[in-house]
Every structure is written in C-alpha cells, then in structure tokens.
C-alpha cells in the first residue's frame, strides 16, 4: 500500500511540506508572528516555554523544539530566539540540521536587534519557502507513516466505536512496517497489569511500570491520591465500574500488536512498531509530544457531548491545529451526529447497528491514506482567526 | 409493545467472544429482552433483563460466582463482590477492581444510582 508523500534527505517521508517558524521561548513568539505575517505560507508554532523552568524541563523542551523542526512534515525550519533563552536557538537549529533539511536561525544577541531579527527572519523565511516549493509528492510505502493516537471526551460509545476502529488502523499501519504511538501515562495508573501483557519483552514491561509509578508519585506530591479518584463520578455515571475497565477502552485504540518500547515525551524511536510515549493526557501536550516524536498523522477519537460541538477546536486544537501534525478526527456518539460534518470519520453507525467495526476501520484507513497524500483534514480546511500558543510538557515546578 | 403483545427487543453489544457482560445501547427496565450483537453486527443471543440498566451500562450475559472475574473485551475488569445472575446490571454495587481500593466517592455514587 502506498501514499503520495514528500521524501526528506534523512529518508523520512512528510505528508505536508511546511516551512515552520519555531520560536524557542514565549518572548520570541511576537517576532515569529511578524516574520510569518510577512512570509505568507510559513507556519509559526507559538510556545509557552519560558526561562522559569528547571534543567530537566529545558532538556524536554529542547528535544521537543528539535523534534518539531525535524518532523517529516516540515520541509524547512526557521528558529527564532531572544539570545538569553534557556533553550538556545542555535542549539535547536543544529539539532534540526542533523536531518539535512534546510534550517536557519535568528536571535537578538546574534543579529543585534529586534528589528534585525524580524527583517533577517523574513528574508530567510521567503528563501526557505522558495526552496521547499519545488518539491513534489512521490509514491511512498505506508510503512513510512507514524500514527499518533489520542482519545478525548470519552464515553461508552468511544469504547464500542472509535477506539476499536482506530485500533484497526493502528494494526494496518504496523502490519505494513509503520509505527504508531499512544501516550497518556496518567490514564494507565492502576491498569499496568493490562498493558504489561502487551509488552514485547520484560524490559519494556518494567519501563512501563516505572513510568506509571513516577507519574503517580508526582501526582501524590501535589497531595492527590489518583488511584482513589478513578474512575471518576462522570465515568461511573456512564457505566464504567473500575479503573481497569476505563483504561481498557483507551488501550484498544493501540490495536493488537506488542508494545516495542517506551519513549520519553517527544522522543523519536529508532525502530518501527507500536510504542508508548510517557506524558500527560492533556491534548496540547499530547499533540506536541507526538509531533516531536516524529508522528506525521494523528487520530483523535471523540465520544461526543459538548466537546464535539466545539467544531473547529477539539479542546486546544483551534486555528487548524499543529501544522506539522494533521489530525484525523473520528466521532462515536450518534447523539452528536449533528456535528459529524466537522469530523473526518463518523463511526456512530456501529452503535446503531448499521456498520461493523471492520467496515468503519476500512473507511478510517482510506481517510488516513487520503490525508497522507494531501487531502486536507476538516481541521486544516477551516480558516480560523485564532492562533494557538502550544503547551510544552514539564515534570518539575516553575521556578 | 408489538402486535403479538410482546415487547420489542432492545439493543446491546458485546465486545468480544467469551465476555461475561454486554453493553446496553438502550435504557433497560426489568423484563426487557435485549438482542445482543457483536462488533461485527452479528447476532449473538438474547437475554432477559432483571434490573434497570441505563444506556452504556453493563448487563451480565451469564451467571458469575462471587469473587470470579468479570470479563469485558477479553480482559478482566474486576471481580464480583456478590454472585451475579444472567440479566443483572453489573456495576460498582456488585463488582470491584482487582487492584485498586474503591474510590472514596463510591458509596455516595452507588446510592445515587441505585
């Protein structure tokens, strides 16, 4: 099976060909916005990263910035810094340059002034646009794809419809030599016994357990015993009786293949197959983490309810979403059917007995291949006046 | 009621072969019959329901002894805290997690549902 993608110098394949503008600190967001405004077609990725973070979190952020620029959906990158930042623009640009794609950086310390950064940045961004514009799509194997996964606004219908449907797409991509990544460590607290059975070996199982235990302890330091708060009252009202039942629904979107490894947040795997990535369940953090880990396409499966009615924004993904990670949205709940036009795949017919999981799974796979070949997602095709400022994961306090 | 005076069967779905519970896709009242389908939409069987079961909640499709595992989607989601008969509502009043103590809010929630 094939899709039409952009071949990158490092052998990876993009499904989009964006020139991304990457501010590496929130202070540089505005300069990045001015550059993007004067170089139409470039895609700024604004950040909430600031100097008040501990070294551990600066390292996480550095890896994420490099990962965003290295993501195969970026044809080229321009890094924008202040010069006094905890994450240096030069270091991020050097990291991205390892992929051999065009990358440049500007910062106030190197270039002299705010105005110089903007002027020089605009010039560089326009040149990068010209360099990437000539690239054409070629037929590439499905095995080049890495699918990221997340479920949101989950209810009973997600367990029956979207999650098994996404599981089929996951198995399809992996059986073709590709990769898939699921995350949300917080969702696994109390359910590691289910997940460890899916681990490829003892080492993977041990790392999974350690990551979950570290997350539980971090939450406990904030004086919350999460084990005793799950499933939450809303889950129970919806019919979820135990924490293992809650986790099971989410795990089904990871299909049926063994978990080959555990990634840090934003870490790229060197091998192919199914991976678990450590991190929060917050949608923005999941999106940035998956994109930094090299996922080119993401599945966001939704139960229904008010979140489905947000239309252009499915919890923190307004403004078209993250440019380097197109999101295929699936909807499960027939009660939210009126919103189906705002989703790429509607799976609610499974609930109403009109379609099998296998049939809906096939539709999702077809949609993934179409989007990988250039079809705009629903989120991408809706123009929005709003620009997202993206959250970056942290494990320590702000200082 | 249909023309023969029998209530029309209501809907439920079972996630995997061998599961001990199905998921109600209608609100159920005692005496309802549910027609259970698989994820592939194949008919699996019918069960008469003995409890009120809200949409999305679980119904037992077989008798389960006290302390036995409750299987959904091929995995144990907990163990029974009392014997469960075929057709009963399966929820926090009769199953508990295998690994986690009950949430502190559980007694309050149980009361509000039952």
Q: Which of A191-195, A268-272, B107-111 has the lowest mean pLDDT?
A: B107-111
Question: Which of the two residues, A319 and A256, has the higher pLDDT score?
Answer: A256
pLDDT band at B6 (very low <50, low <70, confident <90, very high): low
* CB contact burial B41-58 (16+ within 10 A = b; e otherwise): beebeebebbbebbbbbb
Chain A residues with CB-CB distance to B54 below 8 A:
239
How would DSSP label each residue in A100-156? TS-EEEEEHHHHSSHHHHHHHHHHHHHHHHHHHHT---EEEEGGG-EEEEEEES--H
Residue of A nearest to B40 (CA): A356
Q: How much is the ipTM here?
A: 0.85
Per-residue pLDDT tens over the stretch A124-142: 999 999 999 999 999 999 9
SS3 A238: coil
- Residue B5 C-alpha, separation from nearest chain A C-alpha, in angstroms: 25
User: Nearest-CA neighbor of A107 among A123, A121, A86?
Assistant: A121
Whether the predicted pLDDT of A143 surpasses 70: yes
Q: Which of A173-182, A194-203, A366-375, B57-66 has the lowest mean pLDDT?
A: A194-203
Contact B40 A229 (CB under 8 A): no
Per-residue pLDDT tens over the stretch A40-79: 999 999 999 999 999 999 999 999 999 999 999 999 999 9
Interface test with A, best of B39, B79, B108 (most A CBs within 10 A): B39
DSSP state of A165: H
Chain B residues with CB-CB distance to A188 below 8 A:
none
What CATH class is the domain B10-113? mainly beta
- Residue B36 C-alpha, separation from nearest chain A C-alpha, in angstroms: 10
Whether the predicted pLDDT of B114 surpasses 50: no
Cβ-based neighbours of B91, under 8 Å, separated by 6 or more? A236, A239, A241, B57, B58, B113
pLDDT at residue A227, rounded to an integer: 76
**Range from A147-156, A307-316, A372-381, B3-12 that averages highest in pLDDT:** A372-381
Question: Which of the two residues, B67 and B107, has the higher pLDDT score?
Answer: B67
Phi, psi of A274, deg, nearest 5: -90, 130
pLDDT at residue B82, rounded to an integer: 97
pLDDT at residue A264, rounded to an integer: 96
pLDDT at residue A228, rounded to an integer: 75
> What is the rounded distance in angstroms from the CA atom of residue A366 to the CA atom of residue A24?
36
pLDDT band at B15 (very low <50, low <70, confident <90, very high): very high
Q: Chain centroid to CA A318: how far? A: 14
pLDDT band at B5 (very low <50, low <70, confident <90, very high): low
Whether the predicted pLDDT of A304 surpasses 60: yes
pLDDT at residue B105, rounded to an integer: 44
Average pLDDT score, chain A: 93
pLDDT band at A193 (very low <50, low <70, confident <90, very high): confident
pLDDT at residue A250, rounded to an integer: 79
- Tell whether B40 is within 8 A of chain A (Cβ): yes
Percentage of residues of chain B with pLDDT beyond 90: 73
Of A236, A252, A355, the CB nearest to B92: A236
- Residue B32 C-alpha, separation from nearest chain A C-alpha, in angstroms: 18
Phi, psi of B38, deg, nearest 5: -90, 175
Mean pLDDT of A3-28: 98
Mean pLDDT of B84-96: 96
pLDDT at residue A226, rounded to an integer: 79
């Amino acid at each position: 099976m094939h899709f039409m993608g952009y071949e990158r110098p490092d052998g990876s394949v993009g499904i989009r060909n964006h020139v991304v503008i990457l501010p590496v600190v929130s202070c540089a967001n505005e300069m990045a916005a001015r550059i993007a405004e004067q170089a139409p077609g470039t895609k700024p990725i604004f950040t909430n990263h600031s100097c008040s973070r501990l070294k551990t979190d600066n390292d996480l952020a550095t890896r994420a910035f490099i990962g965003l620029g290295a993501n195969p959906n970026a044809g080229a990158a321009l890094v924008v810094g202040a010069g006094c930042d905890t994450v240096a623009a030069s270091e991020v640009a050097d990291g991205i340059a390892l992929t051999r794609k065009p990358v440049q950086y500007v910062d106030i310390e190197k270039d002299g002034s705010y105005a110089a950064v903007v002027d020089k940045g605009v010039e560089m961004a326009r040149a990068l646009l010209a360099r990437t514009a000539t690239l054409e799509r070629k037929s590439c194997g499905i095995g080049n794809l890495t699918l990221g996964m997340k479920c949101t606004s989950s209810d009973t219908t997600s367990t029956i419809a979207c999650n098994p449907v996404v599981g089929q797409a996951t198995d399809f991509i992996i059986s073709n030599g590709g990769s898939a990544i699921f995350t949300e460590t917080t969702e696994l607290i109390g359910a590691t016994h289910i997940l460890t059975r899916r681990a490829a070996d003892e080492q993977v199982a041990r790392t999974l357990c350690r990551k979950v235990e570290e997350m539980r302890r971090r939450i406990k330091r904030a004086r919350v015993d999460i084990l005793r708060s799950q499933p939450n009252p809303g889950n129970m009202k919806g019919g979820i009786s135990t924490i293992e039942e809650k986790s099971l629904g989410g795990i089904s979107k990871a299909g049926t293949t063994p978990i080959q490894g555990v990634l840090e947040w934003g870490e790229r795997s060197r091998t192919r197959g199914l991976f678990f990535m450590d991190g929060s369940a917050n949608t923005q953090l999941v999106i940035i983490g998956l994109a930094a880990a090299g996922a080119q396409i993401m599945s966001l499966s939704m139960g229904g309810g008010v979140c489905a009615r947000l239309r252009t924004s499915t919890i923190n993904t307004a403004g078209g979403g993250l440019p380097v990670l197109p999101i295929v949205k699936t909807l499960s709940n027939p009660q939210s059917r009126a919103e189906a036009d705002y989703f790429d795949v509607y799976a609610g017919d499974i609930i109403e007995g009109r379609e099998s999981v296998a049939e809906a799974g096939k539709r999702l796979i077809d949609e993934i291949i179409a989007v990988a070949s250039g079809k705009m997602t629903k989120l991408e095709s809706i123009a929005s006046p709003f620009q997202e400022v993206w959250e970056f994961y942290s494990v320590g306090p702000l200082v | 009621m249909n023309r023969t005076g029998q209530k029309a069967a209501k809907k439920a779905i079972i996630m995997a072969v061998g599961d001990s519970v199905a998921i109600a896709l209608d609100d159920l009242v005692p005496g309802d019959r549910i027609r259970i389908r698989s994820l592939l939409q194949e008919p699996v069987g019918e069960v008469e329901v003995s409890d009120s079961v809200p949409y999305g909640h679980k119904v037992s499709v077989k008798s389960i002894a006290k302390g036995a595992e409750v299987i959904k989607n091929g995995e144990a989601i907990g163990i029974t805290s009392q014997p469960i008969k075929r057709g009963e509502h399966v929820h926090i009043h009769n199953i508990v997690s295998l690994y986690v103590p009950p949430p502190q809010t559980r007694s309050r929630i149980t009361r509000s549902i039952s």
